[in-house]
Structure 1
């Protein structure tokens, strides 16, 4: 289970709390921790749904598998297609974050070169071995969390010395002068991006030695990740009540946060930790989306024999890995705010329908509503989670809604052609 939790946390990239801090602080009026609290509640409820469904459908494919089996193959394809958007863009956003780090620390290095070198290295490593990727991920994750702990200690000491808000205990971190509930909701849609990765644990359901540990691994990933995000966001918000100290670098203030808290030396340490955490996330997300393409290709949901091909020497889906690497190269020209919003579009669609699938499978199909406990587990909790994910989805950036709508339209067009106008369903999941 440790390896699975490490995979999920590595996918989530703990240091991303600093990358998006400027954006979320501006969005919420200086209440980043409140956005994380709300997102953590939604993600914990959704993690419960993933845990219930992975126990019933212990196959790779995540939301795609659960919706197609619990509700309908065609709907499963559309949810899988939507979640494919965030899976494809997550490796790219890691390349984008690395580019932003280098631009601030080494401004003379060409951005395109950073993206190309990063993409070639991660693609090669994942193509050589996915098992080795898991081990590397755990080492990089441990290093990043250690440096984050050092940051919390230093920033806490500075708060006690009168820096920032001048106190270590204050509700000011949860509600700034201009904070409102709608602003916190909007901020929560942004920080949902930080949690994306706990669901990736389900992509390894077929390899888990004891599938019953998967629900616990999923929930533990959410709670540990949420705890790390919340502590870091709380201390950072008190240390930097406004974005003014970051100057022009609010899009990704992590290097500035490191410099302002500990000078050039700690800046180098924090950027280094963030870099290795981002690489860990890049490796985990790259491997996971390659597996998702493999599942959808194997089931006939996506065309092309190449998607189903496993290299007999490396035992990895090399074609899929190369496709993901090609998408990563697009990081040269996009902003972090836009791409994170597009990722959240696909993720929130998947989360919504996974929660709804619990109701469809346990409450409707199995009719497990005989006791008060079953009503809570199979209808009320997933129902509340569904409504909350829909609420967050409505707060997405308009550009993300447009981009996600176009992506969904492409998937719907393919579905209509494949199913001859919905006259036949997608192929059944292979056993």
Structure 2
């Protein structure tokens, strides 16, 4: 298929998303979404919850996410279309149920760019307290929106540069931590088993920590949103696994050295335990200069996450709009004929992101995670629905293991996360889901009207 093609079957125009993303560009978008520097931001909180075994929490979280990543990889091979859980559920179960899953996911994906804008606002307010916050939010959101609007290839390049910058700074931290450990600081050695397990730790501590850090891995699933812009759609499943494993390795290694250097949290300030520990960790490891550099890396990580999350949610809006009817469907389902991006969806996400002006981080954070868990659960279930129920590929023990056991293990891990979801996230998520039910009743005229499934690219 050519890099630029036309769409003859879409009801919303002829322009198509441009296929210009290679394997590593997609992997970088996933890593950008995951924000590797978050390990330092949340270290104080997670170390407190785990009694000092943060690396073990990341390992358990990685294992839990791997089962879901396998399901994402399998389903994107069957349905090489943007839309992720929405697309898979619509095609394997029901378009109406798919709409509800897509609607639930929208709450998370739509708010993540807003969260990043809030974080940038907090950074800039700390440096320039006399400047009105709305100026920083406006400038930042306009810049991110413009980049996502004009070119997906340029967006991926900038995202890639930001990801490389933050990973380099994490590598510098590891070198500085290694030198400090060699001098006898912290545990005095990187080869101690203390960061993984010790006498004061129970499995419950590790599970609690894993539920906290699991959400750091959210981003590998967003890779599926770029399926219609991949040069070769068959590389997307590989990109999902690579992003998850590379991100998991970065989290684990950084957590190991941080935990080795700071076996307890006694020396951390109250602010580091309640908010971000990154500035204090950076200062203790490398002084003022490194504090500035690692904070800059955190800024870059947030910008990379903004680009990746803004681009991915606009693709979800585009696919849902492409399958819809009326003015809303035509608006979101349109692709700009020159930029080859879902321009209206990109602009809408930018408008929502301006909510970072009046809202605060605590309130917005309470609204997210419900939709991601909904998506994770149903992607695993779609594997069962497609392979075990529809195709009836359960004739051998290996087929049963692949098509039933593995995805249900993924569901089981997701249930653990559901159980530990904050009350605010659950309540707000249910309210959003019920609003989606009302919208579904309206657009289907009380289920009397069918819903379309347009796979794009002629699928």
Residue 365, structure 1, aligned to residue 411, structure 2: no
Aligned in 2, Cα 1:103/1:233: closer, same or farther, shift over 3 Å? farther
More helix per residue: 1 or 2?
A: 1
Structure whose CA Rg is larger: 2
2:348 corresponds in structure 1 to 323
Which of 51, 58, 69 does residue 47 from structure 1 map onto? 69
Which whole-Å deviations, capped at 9, do the CAs of 1:296-319 have from their partners, x for residues lacking one? 011018934321233333222222
2:212 corresponds in structure 1 to 190
Moved more, 260-269 or 23-32: 23-32
What 5-or-longer segments of structure 2 have no aligned partner?
1-22
8 Å Cα contact 2:323-2:329 kept in structure 1: no
Aligned in 2, Cα 1:137/1:118: closer, same or farther, shift over 3 Å? same
8 Å Cα contact 1:63-1:80 kept in structure 2: yes
1:246 corresponds in structure 2 to 269
2:20 corresponds in structure 1 to none
Matches within 5 A, 1:1-400: 1-175=23-197, 179-240=201-262, 241-242=264-265, 244-250=267-273, 251-300=275-324, 303-332=328-357, 336=361, 339-340=364-365, 342-400=367-425
d(CA) in 1 for partners of 2:325, 2:163: 34
Shift of 1:343: 2.9
8 Å Cα contact 2:53-2:197 kept in structure 1: yes
What 5-or-longer segments of structure 1 have no aligned partner?
none
Shift of 1:20: 2.3
Which whole-Å deviations, capped at 9, do the CAs of 1:334-375 have from their partners, x for residues lacking one? 555664554322111101110011011101110111222211
Aligned in 2, Cα 1:385/1:176: closer, same or farther, shift over 3 Å? same
Aligned in 2, Cα 1:336/1:162: closer, same or farther, shift over 3 Å? farther
Residue 404, structure 1, aligned to residue 404, structure 2: no
Which whole-Å deviations, capped at 9, do the CAs of 1:80-102 have from their partners, x for residues lacking one? 11111121122122222223333
d(CA) in 1 for partners of 2:257, 2:269: 16
8 Å Cα contact 2:166-2:301 kept in structure 1: yes
8 Å Cα contact 2:373-2:414 kept in structure 1: yes
Aligned in 2, Cα 1:254/1:109: closer, same or farther, shift over 3 Å? farther
Aligned in 2, Cα 1:155/1:219: closer, same or farther, shift over 3 Å? same
d(CA) in 1 for partners of 2:288, 2:66: 37
Q: Which secondary structure state, in structure 2, belongs to the residue aligned with residue 98 of structure 1?
A: helix
Q: Which secondary structure state, in structure 1, belongs to the residue aligned with residue 233 of structure 2?
A: coil
Aligned in 2, Cα 1:88/1:63: closer, same or farther, shift over 3 Å? same
Aligned in 2, Cα 1:107/1:164: closer, same or farther, shift over 3 Å? farther
Which whole-Å deviations, capped at 9, do the CAs of 1:131-167 have from their partners, x for residues lacking one? 2101111111111101100101111221232323333
Shift of 1:231: 0.9
8 Å Cα contact 1:185-1:392 kept in structure 2: no
TM-score by length of 1: 0.93
Aligned in 2, Cα 1:175/1:106: closer, same or farther, shift over 3 Å? farther
Moved more, 240-249 or 136-145: 240-249
d(CA) in 2 for partners of 1:152, 1:94: 26
Shift of 1:295: 0.6
Aligned in 2, Cα 1:113/1:216: closer, same or farther, shift over 3 Å? same
Which whole-Å deviations, capped at 9, do the CAs of 1:203-224 have from their partners, x for residues lacking one? 1212223222221111111111
Which whole-Å deviations, capped at 9, do the CAs of 1:255-283 have from their partners, x for residues lacking one? 22212211110011111112112111111
